[in-house]
Amino acid sequence: MKRFFKSRWFKIPFFTLTFVFAAIGFFLTVSYLAITMRWTDEAGQVDVNNRYFQEIHDKYNQDFKIDSVKVVKQQYEALNRIILLNEFYPKNAQFILAAMQKGGSEVEILRMLDAVDLQLKNDQDYQAEVRKLRKKVAQNKRVSGLSVFDWMNISEWQDFKAAVAKDKHLIDSAANQTGVEARLIVACLVGEQIRLFNSNREIYKTYIGPLKVLSVESHFSFGVTGIKELTAMNIEKNLKDPACEFYLGKQYETLLDFKATDTAAIRVERIDRLVDYRNHYYSYLYAAIFLKQVKVQWEKAGYPIDKRPEILTTLFNVGFPQSKPKAKPRVGGSTILIHEKPYSFGAIGYQFYYSGELYDLFPFEQQKFDWKRD
């Protein structure tokens, strides 16, 4: 046995294993001491863009507040910067645009763009375009909280909006009955009611302003949309006459039927339902049917005007005798003074229709007539 322990067959493996375990033990001991004594800690580095990160943070700290007017300005700035980015890195531009469309706050969208600008701070071509954009923005510092349409800046317009909001259910009902876009009906209402937008008028001081109600006409024209009696009679007649150019179809024939049977009683019923102070439904219904009848007339003649609110409102103002289909119809109608400034009825209808005002209540439909919703 002693002879075996002294042989090289024992000594070599034994001393080899001894040295291996000793080395492992030494390594583990040193590693433990290194960790304990924090010899392995990384010194760390300050990012080369640290100053820029701090500037961005300071820019959007808790004091960064923007009012409703500046929000719009910030949105336009963001859109312009996204368009610019799209010329260099479309993929990133699409990501930011998607975030914006999904309701990302103005601050977050601007920070997304600032992150891109930081990454591209050494891209001379991109930075040159950014400087041009910022210079352009700086040169146009005047931001107005007013509407570009002057007549929507007067106090009476706010009263009108409050009044028409009360009638939303009636306007929507007339729209559903006729398949005429509610916003088109309101465009006619605006043109008729706006004539009274003068705080010096007794009717405004007594009723419209204090009560936030619409004016119901009861003399030469009737109701809130100012339907003349002869126009109302022609609208009713056109519903019943399949041979006339304004005929809408059998499904509409009974839409304005009366309970009365003799002429005198029908006239009373017609006026009564138009001048009803508590319920303006028939004012909107007559207006909607008129719009649809002239739309059909022009369509049959080969001159569609379904996407021409300025022409439809002009025709609503001037009536059936002036509705003569042609290739190039003219916008106009009555001249209306609003705080001594003249506007045509058709121009008022057009400006309201495309202004965005009351859009939350009366949005665009996919089609203006016989529309279909998603």
pLDDT of 214 reads 86
Nearest by Cα to 236 from 300, 178, 187, 289:
289
Neighbours of 73 (CB within 10 A): 16
Three-state SS at 159? helix
pLDDT of 273 reads 96
pLDDT of 41 reads 47
Assess contact for 226 and 173: CB atoms under 8 A.
no
Assess contact for 123 and 84: CB atoms under 8 A.
no
Assess contact for 142 and 325: CB atoms under 8 A.
no
- Return averaged pLDDT per consecutive 10 residues of the chain, 374 residues in all: 55 61 61 54 53 58 52 76 91 90 81 86 90 76 75 89 96 97 97 75 68 80 94 97 96 96 95 94 98 97 96 96 95 89 93 95 93 60
pLDDT of 109 reads 86
Assess contact for 129 and 84: CB atoms under 8 A.
yes
Strand partners, 217: 223
List CB contacts of 335: < 8 A, sequence separation 6 or more: 342, 343, 344
List CB contacts of 211: < 8 A, sequence separation 6 or more: none
pLDDT of 196 reads 72
Three-state SS at 220? coil
How many residues would you count in the chain?
374
Q: Whole-angstrom Cα distance, residue 208 to residue 98? A: 44
Q: Whole-angstrom Cα distance, residue 27 to residue 49? A: 39
Strand partners, 218: 222
Q: Whole-angstrom Cα distance, residue 141 to residue 131? A: 16
Helices (H) and strands (E) in the chain, counts: 17, 5
